[in-house]
Amino acid sequence: MKDLAITTERLLLRPVCTGDLDVAAALGADPRVMAWFGGTLTAERSEQWLRRQIEHWRAHGFGRFAATFGGVVVGFVGLTRTEYDAGFIPGIEIAWRLAFDHWGKGYATEAARAVAREGFERLGLELIVGVTTPGNTRSRRVMERLGMVHARRRLRASARARGGSAAASRRVPAPQRAIEVSVSSSNQGPPLPT
């Protein structure tokens, strides 16, 4: 999996591995990190989460990266197939989760920008979705910095272009697990900032 690593200005991103268990467990046990995921995870649930991410790489050839700075894992950022109805099926979601000590340094945006580029260029994706709750302002700000476009706005615009109305947005099924959806596309949204 070494050849799948990505280097950014400050970070090395490499596919998650079993050696990431301690960090995954620490993040899962931190209520600040897990506040928008329904609460903390036991070490056993974190291990299950990590094993699912490793299996995702094996099954799909893409997945979560461990983002490392100077050899230290600062968090997990990557792409995942959505297994729930976020209004875009099949959908590829971009996701981020950093250790609290590494918030406020720009690492999530830096890693996500590289991951999105990888998705569009190596994987040939046309659309990457991001899903979060309205209250998760830090996550929403990452989406804004990436230039992601809010799904409802995009759907209204495409309905107008077809001579229709905003009814298009009502036809999108309500996401089951989250109430906010943003989308970013290689050719339909604003370009990803470099």
User: Residue 60 interacts with ligand COA (CB under 6 A)?
Assistant: no
Mark residues 114-133: x for contact with ligand COA by CB under 6 A, - for none.
Answer: ------------------x-
Identify the residue whose tokens are 């089951």: 176
Helix/strand/coil for 156:
helix
For ligand COA, which residue of 46, 53, 68, 139 counts as binding (CB under 6 A)? 139
Binding to ligand COA in span 80-109, by CB under 6 A: 96-98, 103-109
Q: DSSP string spanning 3-47? A: GG-EE-SS-EEEE--GGGHHHHHHHHT-HHHHGGGTS---HHHHH
Q: What is each CA distance from 106 to 59, 66, 67, 193, in whole angstroms?
A: 30, 15, 12, 14
Cβ 130 to ligand COA shortest distance, Å: 7
User: Residue 177 interacts with ligand COA (CB under 6 A)?
Assistant: no
User: Residue 13 interacts with ligand COA (CB under 6 A)?
Assistant: no
User: Residue 160 interacts with ligand COA (CB under 6 A)?
Assistant: no
